[in-house]
Amino acid sequence: MSGRRHFLGLSISALIGGLGALFAGPRRARSGFLLRPPGARPESDFLDACVRCMRCADACPNGCIRFHGLSEGLEKALTPYIHARSRGCIVCGKCAEACPTGALKPFETSPEGLLAGVKMGTARLNKSLCFSYNGRTCGACYRACPLPGTAMKIGLYEKPLLQEADQCIGCGLCEQACLHLPQAIRVVPVSETVG
Q: Which residue has the higher pLDDT, 126 or 14?
A: 126
Its pTM stands at 0.80
Range of the domain at 176: 2-193
pLDDT, mean over the chain: 87
CB atoms within 10 A of CB 154: 17
Tally of domains within the chain: 1
How far apart (Å, rounded) are the C-alpha atoms in residues 185 and 140?
Answer: 11
Q: Would you say 92 and 109 are in contact if contact means Cβ atoms under 8 Å apart?
A: yes
At residue 2, the pLDDT reads 58
How far apart (Å, rounded) are the C-alpha atoms in residues 191 and 131?
Answer: 29
Q: Confidence class of residue 193 from pLDDT cuts 50, 70 and 90?
A: low
